[in-house]
Structure formats: structure tokens, C-alpha cells
């Protein structure tokens, strides 16, 4: 039986001919969304399974389709790195960095203000694997040298810190870590890879939750890990291969679209957020505004030195007096601000943080994190003003 002779329709449906039937010559401004698990080879001698796209670009869909690799190349260019791996989410990017550089018996350092799931990973799975992760004061600067050990393999930075927004002296921390032979990794999600030049300030590896500003519309889950050094590239690539961290080409397509408007969105988000934060700083109900561009934020002077702008997420610390129920009522009364995690999209969000674990600068049950979206700042201010009645 040959495929040239007439066959039942089910045979014609089952036999795949990869030869294109559409006319050639189509060009578009949009990167095509390429899906697929199986990669076809011209000859049996060419058949191979290799994660390294620089050696063999397409061997299996797990390692990336053209859409995934295009996004990785653009993120690397954006961050002025050399290599970038796309992961299924920001937490996956964090896990990849740990497992690429740490093994049983190794020691890592993590700021006390790091993203909560990063801390959870450190105290859970990594502890069971024999990797010790020690937390440190994010404002320690060069003093981190006293915490470094002969088995310290990885030093994490996250600047600003999650929820409490401390700005770290990354160059000083990186210099001390490099003298001890440790890799410096930075969660650069707040800066979207552009408001803080991670590699110029000493980081070896940088990660982002592309879910936030790169995606920009709260409709995808992706992460990225970028590096410059060849040894770091190989360590990350091998770990990613063993972990099977495939990224969705459809999500990558949305992220590529988000990149096109990243600059204008960040500029508008910065202006609107500053207007709202400065208004909140004058409110009698607010004790402190934790926004990197305001002097009230720990590490503000370092932000002025190292950053080229600010983003959309910050926190307020309410004055003593209101109960937890009143603070919840304040958040519930907000109309334009929706209640939810994450940030970086077009919609404003609010989330109270009760019992936030901060050993050095605790804020008790008084912290509310805000993400300012693209709504008019005056309307957001009016929304906050009416909600403050719940604290009376």
C-alpha cells in the first residue's frame, strides 16, 4: 500500500506530511507560535537529543520551539546577558538556579525579605536534599563577608525585597561573594530586567517572573534565567534538562507581545504609582510608605545610586489602632483595587500581609501591599480615600 493510491479518509488524516501546502512568502511583524513535541530530522544520522540550542537548535520540543527560543534570545538581549532559559514560571526559575549550583552539603544565603515561595523552597525541599539556606539582613552590604563559608555556593539577592521593599547594595554583596567563590543570583522581577542592570552591578545569574511586567496583562505564567558565563550556562542547561522544564509556546507568544509595550507601560506605571504613593504618604492613617523612590523606604539612597526608575508595586504600613478585621474591611471596600496576588498587570491590586515573617524589621499586622495599574491615578486615590473610612 502506498500513500499515492486513493485511501480511506482516516488514513489521509493519520499520515502527516510536514511539507507546507500554504503559499510561501508570508511575512509578518509577529513571531509565529510554533508548537510541537516531535522534531523531524532529515536523516537517521542526524538524530540526537541535546538541550544545547547552540549545538543543535531543534531536537525535541521539551528544549524549546522557535517561539520559546526567540523569547529567550530577546530577554538575554534586554538584560545584556548571553544566554537565557525560559521556565514555566518564576518559582521554577528560582528552583532551577538552586539545583544548578547547590548540592547536598552546600550552603546558600538568602535575604530575609525574599519572595515567600523562595523561602518555602529553602526550608522545605532543599533542606530535605541536604542544602542549607541561611537568611541574612538584606541591608547587610559588604558585611555579608562574615556569613560566607567555604561551602557557600550561592548568594541570593532580591532588590527591592518582597512586600517590605528593602533595597540591597548588590555590588558590595557581589564583591564579597565573588572573593569567596560563590555565584550571585538576583531576582530582578521588580526591575523587569531594565530598571536595574544586574550584570553591571555584579550579578552572575538573573531571573525574572515574566508573569509580571514582561507579560503585563495577568494572563500567562513564565520565568526566565539569564547568565553570561559559559560554565553557568552549562550548569543551568543540564539542570533544566533533567528537570524537564518545558515552557508553553503560547505563553511565550504572549510574552513576546508584552515586550513590545514594556517601555511605555513601565513609564506610565511609574508616574501613576508615584502619584498614589506620595498622596498616601500624607494620609494620617499611614505610618510609612515603603516605595523605593521615597526616602521612607529602607535603602532609598542605594536605589537612587543604582536604579534608573521605579515600578508599580509598593507597600504601606498603617498606624497602630485598627484591628485586623478593620484592615480587611479597608481592603474589601476598595472598588478599583482588586484583591489578589501577583502584580505588574494593567489592573490595580491590594493584599494585606498579616503575620509577615520579618525578623529584623517587623511590621506586625499593619502592612498592605498595593500594585498600581493603568487606571487614572485620581480615580485610584478617590478609591483609597473612601476605603479609609473603614479604619475610623
Question: Which residues does 309 contact at the CB level (< 8 Å), separation at least 6?
Answer: 195, 266, 267, 270
This model's pTM is above 0.85: yes
What are the DSSP E strand ranges found in 141-201?
Answer: 152-158, 183-187
Rounded Cα–Cα distance for residues 222 and 323 (Å): 37
Domain with CATH 3.90.1150.10 in the chain: 261-389
Model confidence pLDDT, tens digit, residues 245-282: 999 999 999 999 999 999 999 999 999 999 999 999 99
- Pairing assessment for the beta strands 132-136 and 107-111 based on DSSP bridges: parallel
Distances (CA, A) of 62 to 65, 87, 93, 246: 8, 11, 16, 5
CA-CA-CA-CA torsion for 117, 118, 123, 125, nearest 10 degrees? 80
CA distances from 264 to 132, 192, 276, 291 (A): 42, 13, 19, 21
Q: Which residue has the cell 521612607?
A: 296
Q: Does residue 36 or residue 99 have the better pLDDT?
A: 99
**Position 4 pLDDT exceeds 60:** no
Mean per-residue pLDDT for 201-219? 98
Distance CA 118, CA 116 (A): 5
Q: Which numeric CATH code is attached to 51-256?
A: 3.40.640.10
Could you say which DSSP state residue 134 is in?
E
Per-residue model confidence (pLDDT) at position 179: 98
Q: Compute the Cα dihedral for 160, 166, 172, 175 and give only its sign.
A: negative
- From-to residues of CATH 3.40.640.10 in the chain: 51-256
300-322 tens-digit pLDDT: 999 999 999 999 999 999 999 99
Pair 330, 391: CB distance under 8 Å: yes
Identify the architecture of domain 261-389 in CATH: Alpha-Beta Complex (3.90)
In 25-50, which positions are buried (b, 16+ CB within 10 angstroms) versus exposed (e)? eeeeeebebbeeeebeeeeeeeeeee
Question: Could you tell me the strand order of the sheet in which 107-111 lies?
Answer: 83-87, 223-227, 205-209, 183-187, 152-158, 107-111, 132-136
Check: CB of residue 40 under 8 Å from CB of residue 18: yes
Confidence bin at 1 (pLDDT 50/70/90)? very low
Contact 325, 286 (CB under 8 A): no
- Contact predicate 276/372, CB 8 Å: yes
Q: If we measure between CA atoms, which residue out of 283, 361, 256, 275 comes closest to residue 314?
A: 275
The string of pLDDT tens digits covering residues 62-115 is 898 999 999 999 999 999 999 999 999 999 999 999 999 999 999 999 999 999
What is the per-residue pLDDT across 155-166, written as a single tens digit (0 to 9) for each? Answer: 999 999 999 999
Distance linking the first and last C-alpha atoms of the chain: 84
Distance CA 145, CA 158 (A): 17
Q: Which pLDDT score is estimated for 8?
A: 64
> What is the reported pLDDT for 357?
77
Amino acid at each position: 500500500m502506498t500513500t499515492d493510491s486513493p485511501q480511506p479518509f482516516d488514513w489521509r488524516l493519520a499520515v502527516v506530511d510536514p511539507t507546507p501546502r500554504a503559499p510561501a512568502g508570508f511575512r509578518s511583524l509577529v513571531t509565529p507560535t510554533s508548537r510541537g513535541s516531535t522534531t523531524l530530522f532529515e536523516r537517521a544520522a542526524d538524530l540526537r537529543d541535546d538541550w544545547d540550542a547552540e549545538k543543535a537548535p531543534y531536537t525535541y520540543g521539551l528544549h524549546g520551539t522557535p517561539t520559546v527560543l526567540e523569547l529567550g534570545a530577546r530577554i538575554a538581549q534586554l538584560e545584556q546577558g548571553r544566554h537565557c532559559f525560559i521556565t514555566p514560571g518564576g518559582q521554577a526559575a528560582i528552583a532551577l538556579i538552586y539545583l544548578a549550583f547547590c548540592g547536598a552539603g552546600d550552603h546558600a544565603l538568602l535575604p530575609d525579605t525574599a519572595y515567600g515561595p523562595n523561602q518555602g523552597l529553602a526550608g522545605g525541599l532543599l533542606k530535605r536534599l541536604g542544602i542549607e539556606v541561611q537568611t541574612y539582613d538584606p541591608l547587610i552590604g559588604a558585611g555579608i563577608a562574615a556569613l560566607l563559608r567555604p561551602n557557600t555556593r550561592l548568594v541570593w539577592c532580591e532588590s527591592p525585597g518582597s512586600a517590605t521593599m528593602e533595597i540591597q547594595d548588590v555590588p558590595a554583596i557581589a564583591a564579597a561573594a565573588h572573593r569567596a567563590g560563590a555565584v550571585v543570583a538576583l531576582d530582578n522581577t521588580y526591575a523587569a530586567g531594565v530598571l536595574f542592570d544586574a550584570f553591571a552591578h555584579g550579578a552572575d545569574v538573573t531571573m525574572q517572573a515574566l508573569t509580571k511586567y514582561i507579560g503585563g496583562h495577568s494572563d500567562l505564567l513564565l520565568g526566565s534565567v539569564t547568565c553570561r558565563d559559559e560554565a553557568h550556562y552549562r550548569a543551568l542547561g543540564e539542570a533544566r534538562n533533567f528537570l524537564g522544564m518545558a515552557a508553553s509556546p503560547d505563553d511565550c507568544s504572549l510574552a513576546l507581545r508584552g515586550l513590545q509595550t514594556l517601555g511605555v507601560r513601565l513609564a506610565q506605571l511609574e508616574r501613576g504609582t508615584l502619584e498614589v504613593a506620595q498622596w498616601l504618604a500624607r494620609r494620617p492613617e499611614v505610618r510609612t510608605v515603603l516605595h523605593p523612590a521615597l526616602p521612607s523606604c529602607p535603602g532609598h539612597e542605594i536605589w537612587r545610586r543604582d536604579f534608573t526608575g521605579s515600578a508599580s508595586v509598593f507597600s504601606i504600613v498603617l498606624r497602630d489602632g485598627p484591628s485586623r478585621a478593620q484592615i480587611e474591611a479597608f481592603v474589601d471596600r476598595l472598588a478599583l483595587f482588586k484583591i489578589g496576588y501577583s502584580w505588574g498587570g494593567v489592573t490595580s491590586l491590594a493584599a494585606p500581609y498579616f503575620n509577615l515573617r520579618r525578623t529584623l524589621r517587623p511590621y506586625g499586622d499593619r502592612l498592605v501591599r498595593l500594585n498600581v495599574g493603568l487606571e487614572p491615578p485620581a480615580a485610584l486615590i478617590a478609591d483609597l480615600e473612601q476605603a479609609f473610612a473603614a479604619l475610623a
